[in-house]
A = this chain, B = another copy of it.
């Protein structure tokens, strides 16, 4: 053990390997491997001795070699957008669900400068056994190609391809609850500020149309094309102020709702007196004291659990009944919705 740490390239003394531990303990590499993996095949006395040497040398198994040599990697790949709180919640759930099943998680971020294809490439290059895509927009065709290689579970949107699993909540119903709530409050002219091409946006749009029809409000339907960011909501709000205000509006997600509320606040539009607003996701934002956004909630913990279960079931050849699991969302009524005002 040289203490050759001084200058130059530094730390050139490569990390200790199984070989080093084996030599130190006077046993074979294979035995050390057995001890480190905690599998049967070594006496308690030896285990203890080997562990002590490993500890002393600061030995840490090399994932690269381990993954390469093993017959399986037991790696679950997850793509997510770091700036999205919904994704973050799901990812944490995935960690928690994967560990007890003996799987490890590899995260790969999607960002402006890092398209989904890039993130997925990384997962494949690590030979993940399954991929869990959290709310990523992947072209149908590439999804099909991906599913050809490994089990794919999409979270938060319907499976865009018959070969992939999907774990999501029932978006049509979520929107339906929102419309029901607004109608019960006496609103009729209910607008949907949609999510454009964002994940599940089409479903929510559709849910809106169906719900309006069901309430005999087909004639009152009004869609504003928007998107998933605050700015999209803000622009929609400006248009509404200019072109005529509805009784209420439902946005694609909470972020969009925040943009809407911002513009309304600055323009002297009182929520909920002048107009009611409903968001979607029940993200942290929705709970903020000054916002108190009425919104549709989906259970991220359960979504994560189910996604992991799915992926593992596929890998372990268990029978998986349907391609989709759809959870029931629920409405959380807070302060941005109220009864229709006298006018």
Which residue numbers of A lie inside 8 Å of B, CB to CB?
5, 8-11, 15, 58, 60-68, 73, 82-83, 85, 88-89, 91-92, 95-96, 99, 107-109, 111, 113-114, 121-122, 124-127, 145, 148-150, 258, 261-262, 265-266, 284-285, 288-291, 314, 317
Contacts and interface: CB of A to CB of B under 8 A. Distances in A.
21 contacts: A8-B317, A11-B149, A15-B149, A58-B145, A60-B125, A61-B125, A62-B68, A62-B125, A63-B127, A64-B64, A66-B125, A82-B88, A83-B92, A96-B113, A107-B108, A107-B109, A258-B289, A266-B289, A288-B290, A290-B290, A291-B291
A160 B83 CA distance: 28
Contact of A107 (B66, B96, B107, B266): B107
Contact of A261 (B92, B96, B122, B290): B290
Each complex incorporates copies of this chain amounting to 2
Contact of A91 (B61, B62, B82, B95): B82
Given A82-B92, A150-B11, A285-B285, A127 B64 contact: yes
A184 B145 CA distance: 63
Contacts of A148: 5, 11
A52 B125 CA distance: 19
Contacts of A11: 148-150
A295 to B, nearest CB: 14
Contacts of A289: 258, 261-262, 265-266
Nearest to A13: B149
Contacts of A145: 58
Nearest to A63: B125
A92 B109 contact: yes
Contact of A291 (B5, B15, B73, B290): B290
Given A95-B109, A107-B109, A68 B60 contact: no
B68 A95 contact: no
A60 B284 CA distance: 39
Given A9-B317, A288-B258, A91 B67 contact: no
Nearest to A265: B289
A103 to B, nearest CB: 13
A111 B97 CA distance: 13
A99 B114 CA distance: 10
A8 B318 CA distance: 10
Given A9-B317, A83-B92, A258-B288, 7 more contacts: A60-B121, A82-B82, A83-B89, A95-B113, A95-B114, A258-B289, A288-B288
A84 to B, nearest CB: 9
B126 A64 contact: yes
Contacts of A317: 8-10
A14 to B, nearest CB: 9
Contacts of A261: 289-290
A64 B195 CA distance: 39
Contacts of A150: 11
